[in-house]
Amino acid sequence: MPRTIKVEIKRQSNPDAPVVTEKFEIPYRPNMNITSLLGEIACNPITADGKTTAPIAYDSNCLEEICGSCAMLINGKARMACSALVDKLQAGNPDEPITLAPLSKFPVVRDLSVDRSVLFQNLKAVKAWVPIDGTYDLGAAPRQFPQIQEERYPLSNCISCTICMEVCPQFNDSTNFVGAATIAQVKLFNMDPAGSVLKEERLRALAGDGGVQECGFAQNCVEACPKQLPLTEAISDVTREVIVQQVKDFFTR
Amino acid sequence: MATVAPPVPSATSPQRGVQPLRAGQGNSFLWRKLHSLSGIIPIGAFLVEHIISNFETWNGPLAYAKQVVFLNSLPLVRVLEWAFIFIPLAFHALYGVFIAFRGRSNVNVYPWAGNWMYLSQRVTGLIALAYIVQHVWRQRFSGVMLPEHPGAAFAKVQHELSNPWMLAIYVIAMIATTWHFSYGIWLFAAKWGITPGNRARKRFGYVCAALGIALCLMGLASIYAVVYKYPNAPENVLPETPAALVQPAAATPAASLTRSLTVTPLTTQSQPRSTPQS
Ligand code: HEM
Ligand code: SF4
Ligand code: FES
């Protein structure tokens, strides 16, 4: 019998539907990733016990770990599906099923697709942009020293995948913590010569409920981030600036 | 930055899941930073003082009694005790329980060092709380009143530790508390932006570990001294402590009040082995 890849997928047909697990067996091909595995199921949506089912809903786009859309729980851990290689996951035990589940801290839309708009709202709340829109030409941007550029570049690699938030013990519906990604973006935009005009507003925003203070420094974010952002360093730096801003505001505002 | 498409807004149902940042709203920043700071000053400072003071047990019951007399001779000592120990400790502990129960530990899924330390900070905090409540009640607010009878301090602790269960509790609590404090200093430095760099954090980790181990060993040595080094310590090594302060009805109150509490007994080394005062 040709080798197959066993997959178990947690499914949910809509946000309020009951959760069910479906099992699949997919003919083995070398060099598959989880997204191609899901594509294979979509071509032939039949479960391991022969029942025809709906193809799995999941998010993906770039297939090269740059769009940030395909985060899910693979064998229980938050990872990007497009860079999770089947051969590596099964190294040693090819008969073990691979389990797939939606991220656990975001509302499920359907199957493996979740609503991660809270990150977008958080980025808006801290004004994670450079304000250059005007009714007239604002002219050339200020020059940026290479030293600044070098410190900013790693932070600009964030792909908004929300893995840092998913793995954080403090990111939950009781703290409503803002999460590492947003804090790192505050550092990125505060260091931009033009973006720094909003620095104080960003720092004040982050002192609100759910802000930097909720970090418990478990450091899971920096371990799990697929783009290796220096998240703990960013949180430490930004928190210091938030504290300084709060003290300044207390005496001068 | 990739953008995440906003969902179709729904007029009826509120947003599910984790809520967005309440930018600039609320006071949790202040409370959380006070919690963080209170762990170092005054509670951490007191813990260091307490372990150093108790290390006097190594030099025997009389040396320990002198230390107790010294501490109780500090100006406004009862005010200091409430303002710099009991109230901040109660705040740190209760707010700490609140923080601990709002976290969702996930070491079972992500068994990484920092994640274990996150859990350990909560577990050691809870152990410390349970221990401190019984410790303060049994050693400070019940039994022989040590502020009035400093000479009875050594024996009081020795009686307590004569129970092997109590001994085990003290050893566990010593390890948990010094662990919590030393990792707490590390956390404080990381969270206040004092050690942002990875290497700085690592280096400071060694410093905190060394401090924690030193404090823990001092504490365990004190326990050893109380239990094994000076067996059968006298009930009170400063028996002339004026009984009148707590027992106004005792005979010759005037005479005992006029006697110096600090000078006379400490210099009479030969006396301590006398019978208990009461
Ligand atoms: C012996 C007394 C104690 C000392 C010296 C102490 C010291 C500290 C220090 C220095 C910190 C680090 C501050 C920071 O997070 O920035 C800390 C954190 C913490 N303490 Fe305590 N503490 C004590 C008792 C307690 C108790 C009784 C609890 C109750 C559960 C507790 C719960 C916590 C928690 C949950 C944190 C972590 C806060 C966070 O990560 O955000 N502590 N403590
Ligand atoms: S910081 Fe890393 S883990 Fe977090 S959203 Fe950005 S890329 Fe993903
Ligand atoms: S599909 Fe774009 S990151 Fe995986």
pLDDT of residue A138: 83
B19 alpha carbon, distance to own chain's centre:
36
Which residues, at least 6 apart from A69, have a Cβ–Cβ distance to it below 8 Å? Answer: A59, A60, A61, A62, A161, B2
pLDDT of residue B1: 54
The answer to whether residue A99 neighbours chain B at the CB level (below 8 Å) is: no
The pLDDT tens digits of the residues spanning B47-91 come to: 999 999 999 999 999 999 999 999 999 999 999 999 999 999 999
From the first residue on, what is the mean pLDDT of each consecutive set of 10 residues in chain B (278 residues)? Answer: 57 82 97 98 98 98 97 96 97 98 98 98 98 98 95 97 98 98 98 98 98 98 98 90 51 44 42 43
pLDDT of residue B270: 43
DSSP secondary structure of A134-146? -SS---SPPP--H
Residue A181 CA: nearest ligand 2 atom is 1
The answer to whether residue A172 neighbours chain B at the CB level (below 8 Å) is: yes
Query: How far is the centre of ligand 2, averaged over its atoms, from the C-alpha of A3 (Å)?
Result: 35
More confident residue, A119 or B276: A119
Provide mean pLDDT across the span A75-93.
96
Chain length of chain B: 278
Task: Point out the residue among B21, B103, B196 whose CB comes nearest to the CB of A125.
Answer: B21
Cβ–ligand 1 distance for B129 under 6 Å, the answer yes
**A166, A104 contact by CB (below 8 A):** yes
pLDDT of residue B273: 43
Quote the minimal CA–CA distance from B30 to chain A in Å: 9
Inspect the interface and report whether the beta carbons of A219 and B6 lie closer than 8 Å: no
Looking up tokens 């200020």, which residue turns up? A142
Looking up tokens 């975001």, which residue turns up? A106
Identify the residue among A231, A233, A242, A245 best suited for mutation to test binding to B, counting B beta carbons within 10 A and taking the highest. Answer: A233
**A105, A166 contact by CB (below 8 A):** yes
Phi, psi (degrees; rounded to nearest 5) at B158? -65, -40
Residue A80 CA: nearest ligand 3 atom is 4
Separation CA A132–CA A174 (nearest Å): 36
pLDDT of residue B271: 44
Query: How far is the centre of ligand 2, averaged over its atoms, from the C-alpha of A225 (Å)?
Result: 5
Looking at chain A, the whole-number percentage of residues with pLDDT higher than 70 is 100
ipTM value greater than 0.90: yes
Query: How far is the centre of ligand 2, averaged over its atoms, from the C-alpha of A66 (Å)?
Result: 11
Looking up tokens 């996150």, which residue turns up? B118
Query: Which domains, ranges and CATH numbers included, belong to chain B?
Result: 34-239 (1.20.1300.10)
Residue A60 CA: nearest ligand 3 atom is 1
pLDDT of residue B204: 98
A172 alpha carbon, distance to own chain's centre:
15
Query: How far is the centre of ligand 2, averaged over its atoms, from the C-alpha of B67 (Å)?
Result: 54
pLDDT band at A215 (very low <50, low <70, confident <90, very high): very high
Cβ–ligand 3 distance for A82 under 6 Å, the answer yes
Q: In chain A, which residue ranges form alpha helices assigned H by DSSP?
A: 34-43, 86-89, 117-125, 146-156, 163-166, 180-190, 199-205, 220-224, 231-252
Identify the residue among A130, A206, A219, A240 best suited for mutation to test binding to B, counting B beta carbons within 10 A and taking the highest. Answer: A219
**A27 bridge partner residues:** A4
Inspect the interface and report whether the beta carbons of B103 and A216 lie closer than 8 Å: yes
Query: How far is the centre of ligand 3, averaged over its atoms, from the C-alpha of A181 (Å)?
Result: 17
Identify the residue among B3, B12, B18 best suited for mutation to test binding to A, counting A beta carbons within 10 A and taking the highest. Answer: B18
Instruction: Locate B126 and state its tokens.
Output: 């809870």
**A33 bridge partner residues:** A85
The answer to whether residue A66 neighbours chain B at the CB level (below 8 Å) is: yes
Query: Which domains, ranges and CATH numbers included, belong to chain A?
Result: 4-114 (3.10.20.30), 117-252 (1.10.1060.10)
Inspect the interface and report whether the beta carbons of B3 and A173 lie closer than 8 Å: no
Separation CA B277–CA B244 (nearest Å): 12
Give the residue among A245, A195, A168 at the shortest CA–CA distance from B18.
A168
**A78, A103 contact by CB (below 8 A):** yes
